[in-house]
Every structure is written in C-alpha cells, then in structure tokens.
Amino acid sequence: MAKKSAKKETGEIVYAPSRPQPITETIEKNYMPYVMTVILSRAIPEIDGLKPSHRKLLYTMYKMGLLNGNRTKSANVVGQTMKLHPHGDAAIYETMVRLTRGNETLLHPLVDSKGSFGKQYSSDMKYAASRYTEVKLDSFCAELFRGIDKDAVDFVDNYDGTLKEPVLLPTTFPNVLVTPNSGIAVGMASNICSYNLGEICDGTIAMLKNPRITAEKLMEIIKAPDFPGGGDIIYNAEDMLNVFTTGQGSVKIRARYVYNKHENCIDIVQIPYSTTIETILNKIAELYKLGKLKEITDFRDEIDLSGFKLTIDLRRGVDPDKLMQKLFKLTALEDSFKCNFNVLVDAVPRTMGVPEILSEWIRFRMGCVRRELAYDLKKKEEKLHLLLGLGKILLDIDKAIRIVRNTEKESDVVPNLMKGFGIDEIQAEYIAEIKLRYLNREYILNRIEEISELENEIAAIKEILGDDLKVKALIAKQLADIKKKYGKPRKSYIIHSDDIEEYKEEENIENYNVRLYMTNEGYFKKITLQSLRGNDEQKLKDGDFITFTADTDNLAELIFITDKCQLYRAKVCDFDTTKASAMGDFIPVKLGMDSGEKPIFMRVQPSYPEKENFVFIFENGKGVRVPVTAYVTKAVRRKLVGAYSDASPIVAVLYEKEKEPFEIMLLSNVDRAIVIKTSLIPIKTTRTSAGVQLMVLKKDQKLVAAYDDFATRFEETKGYRKIKIPAPGILLSEKDITKQQLRIE
C-alpha cells in the first residue's frame, strides 16, 4: 500500500508509490510459511499415526483423567482442547466425531462415545451437538499413552507457553497402519488405509526378528488392508504388491450382500469404505429412471440400530447374483480406495510402502522404549542410593537418634547425619524425613532386603539397554500381548480377482431382430419386425426422407459419420424400441453431438476387417478411400474426431466391402456427371487425407451428389462412364435433368 507523505499547500494528501514486491519474495516470505505449516502441523500424519489435531485432543482427554474415569460432556473436552489447539469448537468436535465408536470410522475406535455421532457411511446422518453427547477415552488408548509419563517422548510448549504437550505419542503398536487417515496439504496429500491389528502385530514381530524380510514374505502375514466398513477386497497380487511396496495405488472393494429368498430382495449389509449410501441410492435412482434397472421394483435405506442395510426388491425370476454384477459395474457398490502412504518422519514428508513404514516405526519405538528404560533405571538407581544410605543407619539406629536429638538447629541435622555415618546429602535428607514410627529394626530390614532386588532389576535394565536384540524382543512381547488383548478377525474378506465373474452387458440384454432407419434430418428408429407386420408406413417430419435402412439385431454395433468430420460409435440397444408411427430418437441429442452437427452416414459395423474401405467424396471434386482399420482404437472410444479431411465440405460417405468395388455417379451443380469405379480412387491410410481429383470442375462448380444407386435414378448411364481420373463431366440428358429437378422439388 502506498505511504502517506506531507500535505501540499493546497491541503491535498500525496501518496508515495509503493515498492513492487517480486513474486519470488512473495512466495518465500508469505506463501512458504503457510505451506510448511499446513504440511507439518495440519494435514499429514506422523509416525505415531496421528495428526496434530488428533494428538492434542487425545492428550487433553488423557490429562482430564478420561482413560479410566467416567464419560464427560463432549463440550467439556472441546473447551479443554482449545488450550492446546486454538481453533473453533466445530473443527475440534468434528475431529473427535471421527475417532468415536459411534461414527464407525476406525477399526479400533479411540473414543468411547454415548449419543448420536452420525455414521461414516452416510453423508445425511449428522452428529448431535457437543452439549448432548458424552465421551471418554477407549481402553485401547492405553496403548497409545503407555510410557508417556516416563519420558518416552519429547514435550514442547503449547501456543502460549502455559502448558506442555507431547510431540508424538509413544504408541506400542504401528498405529499409523491401523488407524485410517487422510489429509490434503499444499502440493501433497496423504491417504492411508487401515490394516488388521493382529496382522500388523505379527508382521512387525517378523520384521523385528528379521529386518531383511522380503516384501513378498511380509505380504503372506499382512495380506491386505482391512476396512472398518468391511466389504470384499478384490485381490490382485500384482496391484496389491505395488501398494504394499510403494504406498501408492488403489484397492478395489465391493459391497457384501445377502439374498432374502422369502421376500425376494437383496440386503446389502456392507459397502465400500470410500463411498456413502446416499451416493449409491442416487445412482440406482438415476439408472432406474433411465430404464437400465428393469430387474428391480423398489430400493430403500433400512439402516437401524442393528446396523447398515440397503434393500433392493427384485422382480420375479431375476437372478440376484447377475443383478449384483450389474450394480457392481454401474454403481459405487464396487469402488476403489486410492492409496497414498505419505507420512511425516522427522518432520520430512515421505511416501513409503508398508515395510518401510514398519521399519521407521520400529526405529521410533526403540527410541521410546530406551527412554522408558532409562527413566526406570534412573528412578531405581536413585532409590537404591537412598536404601544404601539407610543400610548404614542399620549399624547404629541409636546413634542416629542421638545425633538428631542432640542437634540444636534443624538446619544442622542433615550435615550432622552426613558426618556421623559418612553418607551424602540426599541420603541424609531421606533418613531425616523418615517418620518416628518407622525407626524400628523390622522396617529398616525390610527396606534393606529391597537392595538386592533393585540391584537385580538395574542389572536387567542395563543388559537390555546394551543389546538392541533385547530391546526388540521387549517390543515383540508387547506386540504379542496387544494382539492377544485387542486383536479382532478381519472385517474385509479377500476374494481373488480370478474368481470374479465380470459383468458383460451383452449377456444381460435381450436380443431380437430389428430394422433400423435413419432420416436425412437425423432421426433414428429401431422397430421390431413384429411391429412392422402391422404397420410399415413411416411417420416422418415434413420434408424429411429415409436415407439408410438396415436389418440387424438388438446387440449390433453402429457407427455414425457426421458433417463435422467426426465418427460416433453406439449400440443398437442404446436406442429405445419405437413404432413406425413415432418420430424416433434425434441422433445429435442422443449421442451428444456438437451444436449444428448432423449425421450423414450410418452403418452396422460389427468389426473392422482389412481390405474394406470408407469412400469419401468431397465438394471440390476430390475423393479418397480410407481403410476401416484406420478407425480401430486401443480403447473403446465413443467419439472419434478427425474422421476425414476438412479441406472441403463432404458430399457423401459410401462403404466398399472386400473385393467388391462398385460404381458411383458424381453429379455437379451444372448437371454434369461421371460414373467411375471405386477401384480408381486411391487408398490412403491417413484418415485426414484430402484425396485426389475425380471430376474436373471449372470455377464456381462443385459436386452436389454422389450415388451408388444411380441406375434407378437415371435413364441411360453408359455415356457417363470413365476409366481414368480426373475426368470431365458429361451433361445429363434432358430427361435426366428434368427427373433430377423433380426429385429436388
């Protein structure tokens, strides 16, 4: 902003021009701090499997005594969390909601909840306000906090320096792979799926025993993700190994269903974790309105207190398994979870596979365990030191009492004890604080007996600290105990992709014989032969006429070529069956053509054989043959641009079968014509080739028509035939000119 300068004599304020800021400086000073904050303090989880918002919330609940205490109002927790997380109550409460048992977002919920917390599988089921719901930490959270009071992790000041909060939680299991997590930062994102706790514990133990274990061996233990919503994971070994080793890829999940024979309905009891029931219902409703789900009579949401259920009522005789194959193909009942295992390790975002994440977690956990052991060692050594001092008192308790009794000043008690027994200040303070009732031989002897126990414990701790293998063995024992206590069977079943019968639309579409019509104005009719027996008089728009007719079946494939150099593919079954008395489908609308685009050619095209060609005739008198193989594409493309040259407007599109060249008559706007064989027209493999001159045209002359059925249109055609190109046109006879003018009128 410009700065104010001194006023002029007139009183007018003059603004000094501001210094323009280079974009590089703006990015460095304004944008980069924001980027780093979002990446490091918002969106990407760390090696403990938590984002900062999760960690602050859970630690607040831990300090509130909610691990073992009774539930408290959610609003209370939200308010306390603001001391660590200075954000709005709505954002904090929404974070809590996803961690609750009631929301069903996690395989192992971290918050024990009471009240309505919505559902992960529904976008319409909203959670109640925080003043109505109650929460406490689930007992499972004990594994997140174990060792936190023993200096297992670092602590830092909160935002205003009034409280301390942990940098990470010392999770005793790889929570990063058990708790699903997703977040979008700036320029990067993270999307981590959940794995089964038992499998993760077993896999981590295997890696602790053999750090060089191969990914393939590890995958035999950690088979596949395990989603809180269940469903069936479609297991493709190659894809799953890619996700497992790189942390990127996708996992296909499909819904699980049960057929209720008595009520003739399908009950869908689990859906993919990545979708919602509303998305599925909306898609089914859309397909039903389009007439693509004629097998069903009704569908509804039947979620209740017993859990998820989506019910589909079937028509009599419908095969439920085939219908589900169709729904898997057309709806989100089969969906993909996009994996992106991006984790912060030592404040650096890294995309890692499962083995690498487990390796980093083991390194992190070994550090936590060492710090816990060091804490215990220090405490035990301090206690041993005190007891050794107490042991010296045992030699002469009466002497200790005399020293205390005969000391005039309180401040001299400790120095006199130090002198009298040769102990240090800490030991003397401990002895001076012993209550009078404890100054008996029994108490002191009991304390002395602890010395040998402490010495053994200290030796054991030092032995563990001095051997990485023993530290790993301790971690492995903890993991085995966690699996035994909290492990659950898989929720997501594994089905191999080879065992899945893929839905083929053709097999589920009724086939019957039909006759197809396309008109000059672009209308299309599909009429059954049975319907034509009663009435074959076609209703057309005024001035319109039929240009193409074909007999085929309902499963045939069609191609349409338009006047805008584009080719469209469709299936006969894409069009509705109609009657001769109806106008039919308007092709540009049905196929989604561009504005003003019009079909000029239609053909049933089941395949693209070699040595068969499209023949294109242009207004400038040129023509070209293009092999149909030039229109084969790797993927099935419904629309193909650049179907032919746009150098001159198209006059006609014809089709030449293998070894069946035919004659065509070219007619100009000055009533001159030639008849040539298509074999004279050169073949060009490039679709957009402009072709060669077929008919000699003078200035302001152009071709207006090309006929392959000219024998029915003209009286005598021998004189028009040419055996070389380009050829000049021959003037039509008076009869033919008159006939053509009558046709045009």
Beta strands in 193-271 (DSSP E): 232-235, 248-254, 256-260, 265-270
579 backbone dihedrals φ, ψ, rounded to 5°: -115, 165
State yes or no: pLDDT of 343 exceeds 90. Answer: yes
* Domains of the chain and any CATH numbers: 44-171 (3.90.199.10), 256-332 (3.30.1360.40), 371-466 (1.10.268.10)
CB–CB of 251/339 below 8 Å? yes
List pLDDT tens digits, range 347-380. 999 999 999 999 999 999 999 999 999 999 999 9
- Global pTM exceeds 0.85: no
Average per-residue pLDDT for the chain: 89
Looking at per-residue pLDDT, the higher value among 625 and 449 belongs to 625
At a CB cut-off of 8 Å and minimum separation 6, what does 644 contact?
A: 561, 565, 614, 616, 624, 626, 650, 653, 687, 688
Residue 660: band (very low, low, confident or very high) from pLDDT cuts 50, 70, 90 = confident
Interior angle at CA 200, CA 67 and CA 254, nearest 5: 100
Position 605, amino acid: Q
Total length of the chain: 745
- For tokens 């001076």, the residue is 432
658 backbone dihedrals φ, ψ, rounded to 5°: -60, 130
**Tokens representing residue 12 in the block:** 């007018």
- For tokens 């971690």, the residue is 475
Position 192, amino acid: I
Position 569, amino acid: R
Position 202, amino acid: D
List pLDDT tens digits, range 583-636. 889 999 989 899 989 999 999 988 888 889 999 999 999 999 999 999 988 777
Alpha-carbon distances of 682 from 392, 678, 725, rounded to whole Å: 116, 9, 10
Rounded Cα distance, 70 and 521, in Å: 77
CB–CB of 652/705 below 8 Å? yes
Q: What is the side-by-side strand order in the sheet with 692-693? A: 650-656, 613-618, 622-627, 692-693
State yes or no: pLDDT of 91 exceeds 90. Answer: yes
Q: What is the side-by-side strand order in the sheet with 513-519? A: 546-553, 513-519, 523-528, 585-586
Looking at per-residue pLDDT, the higher value among 144 and 635 belongs to 144
Q: Of the segments 171-185, 442-456, 489-503, which one has the largest average pLDDT value? A: 171-185
User: For residue 452, what pLDDT is reported?
Assistant: 87
**Tokens representing residue 217 in the block:** 């061996």
DSSP H or E stretch at residue 312:
strand 310-314
At a CB cut-off of 8 Å and minimum separation 6, what does 361 contact?
A: 47, 174, 176, 204
With a pLDDT cut of 90, the percent of the chain lying above it is: 60
List pLDDT tens digits, range 488-518. 999 999 999 887 877 666 556 777 888 999 9
Instruction: Give bridge partners of residue 655 from the DSSP assignment.
Output: 614
State yes or no: pLDDT of 240 exceeds 80. Answer: yes
Rounded Cα distance, 372 and 461, in Å: 10
Assign 250 to helix, strand or coil. Answer: strand
Rounded Cα distance, 509 and 326, in Å: 11
The DSSP output letter for 80 is H
User: For residue 16, what pLDDT is reported?
Assistant: 64
State yes or no: pLDDT of 280 exceeds 90. Answer: yes
State yes or no: pLDDT of 45 exceeds 50. Answer: yes
Report the catalytic residues.
132
List pLDDT tens digits, range 676-697. 999 999 999 899 999 999 999 9
Nearest of 696, 727, 729 to residue 621 by alpha carbon: 696
List pLDDT tens digits, range 459-499. 999 999 999 999 999 999 999 999 999 999 999 999 998 87
Residue 1: band (very low, low, confident or very high) from pLDDT cuts 50, 70, 90 = very low
Looking at per-residue pLDDT, the higher value among 201 and 400 belongs to 201
Rounded Cα distance, 514 and 267, in Å: 38
State how far Cα 433 lies from the chain centre: 64
**Tokens representing residue 196 in the block:** 């089964």
At a CB cut-off of 8 Å and minimum separation 6, what does 414 contact?
A: 425, 428, 429, 432
Question: Please, is 731 exposed, middle or buried when counting C-beta atoms within 10 Å of its C-beta (0-12, 13-18, 19+)?
Answer: middle
State yes or no: pLDDT of 335 exceeds 80. Answer: yes
